[in-house]
């Protein structure tokens, strides 16, 4: 499934300010609002698309992640339905007369199960090559015996008397500035609209039961710790509402940490700090180092200093959005031994060497 660019959807440049993004979203939301386009599926899709774009671009963290990785499902909210959108961004419609979408069409409301979150760790090699991970998760799935509503046989439900089967209760309060209408989830049935008279033996009336799920996650190369993947519908089923009234929550898979395998990662570059003997630094030498993937041979020149960098282009971390790769960089760390480490004869040699004009005080001042 190819997704349109979030900036393109809202019609703003990448440099747009928060305010410009908000304005652009409000414009799109009003244009494609379901109240203005009743029964228009295309408008509804555009409305959802704009909400998803705004969900990412209005959040600093998600925006910067999106700017870096694009549509790696990087924290995109993935709205299940219109109610989700209104729940998230209802404030943006303030003053536009669209505030009552929820209460006008309560029959559209679906109950969403809990979102689940798991954390996984990668190695630097996984980040370089990309990796397929098998994710095993235990979650709540619908009970098949009762079709998820918790009643024996799945169909002996009776409407809740408190809310008369609406799932929510509307109260009108008279105040000096006019009537204030408040809608809340029915406290008796907790919004489920119905009660069962006899409970399902299999799930003990819960409507859900534990199930194990396995999912294969393709992790692209170049990912960083903190990245999040969303498996829509991979979370828990909502209890006691029945399959037709509920939707699964989402599963969030968070890259918790990346084991850098003794290297240091700086963006797309991989750094190796390599200890070098003072003799090799003076004379130069062919050295061998190991990258996360392979062995590399290279020559250090005579007179190598601590901090000198040897750069191997294109041997670092791949970019998640282009075919570029960072560099592998070896930084020389010249080790200077102390007097105690030498035996007597060696000290004499060093003292003799110290008489060379190279080591006269003024040679270091130039």
Interaction between residue 163 and Zn ion (CB under 5 A): yes
Binding flags for Zn ion, 133-152, as an x/- string (CB under 5 A): ----------x-xx------
3-class DSSP state for residue 49?
A: helix
Compute the least distance from the CB of residue 142 to Zn ion, in Å.
8
Our CB check for Zn ion shows the closer of 140 and 251 to be: 140
Compute the least distance from the CB of residue 232 to Zn ion, in Å.
24
Q: In whole angstroms, how far apart are CA 99 and each of 86, 92, 103, 146, 181?
A: 8, 9, 9, 36, 12
Binding flags for Zn ion, 165-204, as an x/- string (CB under 5 A): ---------------------x-xx----------x-xx-
Our CB check for Zn ion shows the closer of 74 and 200 to be: 200
Our CB check for Zn ion shows the closer of 149 and 327 to be: 149
Our CB check for Zn ion shows the closer of 202 and 321 to be: 202
Q: Which residues does 101 contact at the CB level (< 8 Å), separation at least 6? A: 34, 35, 82, 83, 86
Interaction between residue 160 and Zn ion (CB under 5 A): yes
Binding flags for Zn ion, 88-127, as an x/- string (CB under 5 A): ----------------------------------------
d(CA 79, CA 84): 6
Strands (E), the chain: 111-112, 116-123, 131-142, 157-159, 168-175, 178-185, 194-196, 208-219, 228-231, 246-247, 251-259, 264-266, 269-277, 285-290, 295-300, 309-312, 328-335
Our CB check for Zn ion shows the closer of 10 and 143 to be: 143
d(CA 155, CA 105): 24
Can you give the binding site for Zn ion, defined by CB under 5 A? 143, 145-146, 160, 162-163, 186, 188-189, 200, 202-203
């Amino acid at each position: 499934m190819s997704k349109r660019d979030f900036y393109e959807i809202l019609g703003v440049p990448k440099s747009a300010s928060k305010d410009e993004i908000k304005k652009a979203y409000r414009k799109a939301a009003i244009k494609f609002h379901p109240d203005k386009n009743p029964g228009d599926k295309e408008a509804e899709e555009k409305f959802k698309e704009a909400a998803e774009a705004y969900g990412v671009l209005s959040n600093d963290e998600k925006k910067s992640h999106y700017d870096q990785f694009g549509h790696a499902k990087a924290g995109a909210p993935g709205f299940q339905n219109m109610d989700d959108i209104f729940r998230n961004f209802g404030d943006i419609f303030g003053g536009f007369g669209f505030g009552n979408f929820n209460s006008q069409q309560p029959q559209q409301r679906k109950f969403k199960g809990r979102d689940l979150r798991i954390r996984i760790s990668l190695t630097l090699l996984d980040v370089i090559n990309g990796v397929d991970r098998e994710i095993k998760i235990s979650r709540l799935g619908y009970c098949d015996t009762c079709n998820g509503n918790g009643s024996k046989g799945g169909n002996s439900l009776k409407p809740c008397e408190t809310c008369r089967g609406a799932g929510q209760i509307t109260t009108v309060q008279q105040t000096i500035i006019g009537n204030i209408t408040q809608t809340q989830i029915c406290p008796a049935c907790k919004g489920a609209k119905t009660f069962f008279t006899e409970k399902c033996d299999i799930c003990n009336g819960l409507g859900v039961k534990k199930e194990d799920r396995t999912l294969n996650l393709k992790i692209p190369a170049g990912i960083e710790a903190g990245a999040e993947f969303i498996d829509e519908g991979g979370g828990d089923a909502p209890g006691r509402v029945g399959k037709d009234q509920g939707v699964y929550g989402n599963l969030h898979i968070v890259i918790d940490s990346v084991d850098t395998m003794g290297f240091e990662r700086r963006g797309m570059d991989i750094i190796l700090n390599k200890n070098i003997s003072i003799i090799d630094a003076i004379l130069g030498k062919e050295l061998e180092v190991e990258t996360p993937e392979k062995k590399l041979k290279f020559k250090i020149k005579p007179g190598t200093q601590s901090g000198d960098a040897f750069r191997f282009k294109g041997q670092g971390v791949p970019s998640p959005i282009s075919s570029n790769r960072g560099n592998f960089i070896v930084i020389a760390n010249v080790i200077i031994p102390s007097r105690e480490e030498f035996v007597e004869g060696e000290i004499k040699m060093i003292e003799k060497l110290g008489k060379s004009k190279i080591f006269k005080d003024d040679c270091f001042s130039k």
